[in-house]
Amino acid sequence: KIERPDFVAAAIENASRTKAGFSDALIALQNAEAQCATTATFDIRATRLDGMSSVENYL
């Protein structure tokens, strides 16, 4: 059984649309649900996802 199939489907769509990785897309969705303002990442492609920003913004 797949946990949160709605999140998995949305993450696949978001990853495909933005060329970001699936895991980054899934993390972005989970963190948005947890009401995180943003998620810092080293992955430049992941910054294409809503709710993800470059860790360089915080250095």
The pLDDT score that the predictor gives to residue 46 is 98
Q: Which amino acid is at 1?
A: K
Mind listing the pLDDT tens digit of every residue in the chain (59 residues)?
Answer: 999 999 999 999 999 999 999 999 999 999 999 999 999 999 999 999 999 999 999 99
- List 52's β-bridge partners, or say none: 39
The per-residue DSSP string of 1-59 comes to: --SSHHHHHHHHHHHHHHT--HHHHHHHHHHHHTT-S-EEES-TGGGGSTTEEEGGGG-
Task: Supply the pLDDT for residue 8.
Answer: 97
The pTM assigned to this predicted structure is 0.89
Supply the pLDDT for residue 41.
97
pLDDT of residue 1: 94
User: 49: closest CA among 6, 36, 3?
Assistant: 36
